[in-house]
Amino acid sequence: MRSGIYTLQETLTAESASILKHSLSLARRRNHAQITPLHVATTLLSLNASSLKKACLKSQQQNQYPLQCRALELCFNVALNRLPTTIIQHQQHVFVPSLSNALIAALKRAQAHQRRGCIEQNQQQNQQPLLSVKVELDQLILSILDDPSVSRVMREAGFSSTSVKNNLEHENHHSSTFTNHNNSHFLSSYGYGNYGYGSVLFSKPTQVHNHFPLQSCKEDVKLVFDVLMRKKKRNIVIVSDTVSLTEGLVNELMEKFERDEVPNELKKTNFVKFNLGSVSIKYMKKEEVEMNVIRVLKRKISDYVALGVGAVFYVGDLKWINDDYGDESCYNHVDYLVDEIGKLFCGEEINNGKIWLVATASYQSYMRCQMRVPSFENLWCLQAVPVPSSGGLGLSLHSSR
């Protein structure tokens, strides 16, 4: 590799790169100096659509899986708690964990296996060997499972890394997973596409100031517009652990719509604030939720449909979905509200696809939403958009000594 630097285009598909981005965020939140295979495995298990979680499910008896799955999550959490933490100095430079030797080895191992598979496939098809091979997500998972620290944690929770790997390889062989995908595949699956670290995945961290970076903001706004103009999964949740970033992006979007500085497909579209986070579901009956929330929202949507114009409804932070209400009836109200919102905002038949929903959430809150309502993303036709898209989320290839 040139100058010992891995670039996003040279080493990882968008899927694999985004998993590392989540792992980076996890390491930063825990003040860990390095990103390890444990961080990557924990991130993979936190995603409902993860191939790793599905493979773990197949390796266990169905009646035992819920308990052992919980045990697996706890064991990884304990393992992360054992890692040394770093005291972060509050300076202008952003703290960016480096890659551990074990993770670098896993990435190189994954790339070697990926290259071997692609070369064998090309030889069978009488094609020339590939000059550049990108590591697919499933190949990355297999390599992470080979890491001794990950295998040890899985063994403590009652799982066999070998058994899980066999399930993954069987599934990959059955579905021909290890083929070259178009990178846009990931945009429809997880919502990142080429969005993530920017052009360089492992690079020198850049200086980030407290204000919302202009270039990052432009890239974030463009990605939001791209998602809004899609035919499927057009509703958006802006995900970030920094409130100022999500609020900054929402404000920028609102100003763009007010000034009509939007793509032609979004002309004559209004940006409407309808903050569900301010609704006191805890103190409401189901009938009140219907009358004060659903009916009001339906009426507003009907008004824009009657006018023949589009509308983007900003519903605020989604933490209300996984708040601790205590009363079981409150959770029923939440489920009801989630279902009804899905009916209102999913489907191209709604004003010819000119009604959208935009929400915000922290990474932790969004994952809890998925755990609280597993079908959440599908119900709302939701696409996650992490921010920022740039601004120093880079990793040094060379591990800390």
Q: Which CATH architecture has domain 2-189?
A: Orthogonal Bundle (1.10)
| 269-273 vs 310-317, strand pairing mode | parallel
CA distance 269 to 301: 12
Q: Is the dihedral of CA 226, 227, 231, 235 positive or negative?
A: negative
Q: Which amino acid is at 271?
A: F
Output the CA–CA distances (angstroms, integers) from residue 373 to 33, 83, 163, 265, 328, in the order listed: 33, 31, 29, 32, 15
Peptide bond into 213 cis (omega under 30): no
Rg (CA), the chain: 22
Segment (H or E) for 184: helix 184-189
DSSP string spanning 36-58?
-HHHHHHHHHH-TT-HHHHHHHH
Of residues 178, 218, 176, 179, the one with CA closest to residue 195: 218
Query: Please, which residues have CB within 8 angstroms of residue 148's CB and are 6 or more apart in sequence?
Result: none
Output the CA–CA distances (angstroms, integers) from residue 18 to 13, 30, 217, 229, in the order listed: 9, 19, 19, 22
pTM over cut 0.85: no
Residue-level pLDDT at 347 = 66
Using DSSP's 3-state secondary structure scheme, residue 384 falls into strand
Class of the domain covering 214-386: alpha beta
Segment (H or E) for 312: strand 310-317
Residue-level pLDDT at 396 = 34
Residue-level pLDDT at 360 = 93
Strand ranges (E), 65-207: 98-99
Query: Please, which residues have CB within 8 angstroms of residue 108's CB and are 6 or more apart in sequence?
Result: none
Polymer length in residues for the chain: 401
Residue-level pLDDT at 201 = 35
Residue-level pLDDT at 178 = 35
**Residue 50 structure tokens:** 């993860």
Contact indicator for 202, 9 with CB cutoff of 8 Å: no
Output the tens digit of pLDDT for each of the chain's 401 residues.
333 334 444 678 877 888 888 888 889 888 899 999 999 999 998 876 678 888 888 877 655 556 677 778 888 988 998 999 887 555 444 567 888 999 999 998 988 887 776 555 554 545 444 445 688 888 999 999 999 999 999 988 888 888 899 888 877 655 443 344 333 333 333 333 333 322 233 333 333 333 444 555 788 898 899 999 988 889 999 988 777 778 889 999 999 998 889 999 999 899 999 888 756 666 677 788 888 889 999 999 998 888 888 999 999 999 888 776 555 556 677 888 889 999 999 866 565 678 999 999 887 788 888 888 888 888 999 988 887 654 433 333 333 43
**Opening angle at CA 350, ends 345 and 354, nearest 5:** 85
Tell the residue number behind the tokens 């060379």, with chain if given. Answer: 398
Tell the residue number behind the tokens 């285009």, with chain if given. Answer: 9
CA distance 281 to 297: 15
Residue-level pLDDT at 75 = 87
Q: Where are the domains of the chain?
A: 2-189, 214-386
Residue-level pLDDT at 10 = 61
CA distance 353 to 335: 24
Q: Is the dihedral of CA 381, 383, 384, 387 positive or negative?
A: negative
Query: Please, which residues have CB within 8 angstroms of residue 114's CB and are 6 or more apart in sequence?
Result: 133, 134, 135, 136, 139, 178
| 310-317 vs 355-361, strand pairing mode | parallel
Contact indicator for 107, 11 with CB cutoff of 8 Å: yes
